Amino acid sequence: MTPREFFTTFTTALNTRDHATLQRLTHPEFVLFMPQTGERSRGLEALIVQGDMYPGGVPDVPPLPEVQFLGDEERWALSPGFTVVPLADAHEFTIIGRVPYPDGKVWHSVLIAELRDEKLYRMDVYFAPEMEAPLMDALLTASAGTQ
């Protein structure tokens, strides 16, 4: 499977609570890490328990058309020292999207995933709530006052 196909299958299984498929796709040493809260789940069972304990249940992961997926192709960058470094390969990919929470708010999320032995080995998840730009009103007011 390509990383995109893997992620589609994994998120569908996650959304439908298809534990058999999740078991097939998850590495025995799987680790989920959320740096903002310090939460760390080791193994699929811990992930399932964490989801079951989440207030309101685990929010559904948005379908692929609603996310930006980085990792389908090789991507390279040139460092300041003129070293060429890979940004993604067949075993690592990044998913950027928006996730509706049970309270109705929408949060932005970035998932950095690593596959090992063609299974999900590690996933780091970063998240932030949507918010209005704090300076936007001030900039618009200042701009309107100069005209």
**What pLDDT, in 10s, does the model give residues 112-147?**
888 899 899 999 988 888 877 776 666 667 666 655
The predicted structure's pLDDT at residue 29: 96
The structural architecture, per CATH, of the domain 3-145 is Roll (3.10)
The predicted model gives 87-96 an average pLDDT of: 72
The predicted structure's pLDDT at residue 76: 61
Report the DSSP pairing between strands 119-129 and 26-34: parallel
The predicted structure's pLDDT at residue 120: 93
Considering the chain, what percentage of its residues have pLDDT values greater than 90?
20
Question: In the numeric block, which tokens belong to residue 67?
Answer: 């996310």
Q: Is the pLDDT of residue 35 over 70?
A: yes
Of 3, 109, 118, 124, whose CA–CA distance to 61 is shortest?
109
- Of 12-21, 28-37, 71-80, highest mean pLDDT: 28-37
The predicted structure's pLDDT at residue 2: 75
Q: Is the pLDDT of residue 109 over 80?
A: yes
Q: Is 56 left (phi over 0), alpha (psi -120 to 50) or beta?
A: left
Domain residue extents for the chain: 3-145
| The model's pTM | 0.70
The predicted structure's pLDDT at residue 106: 82
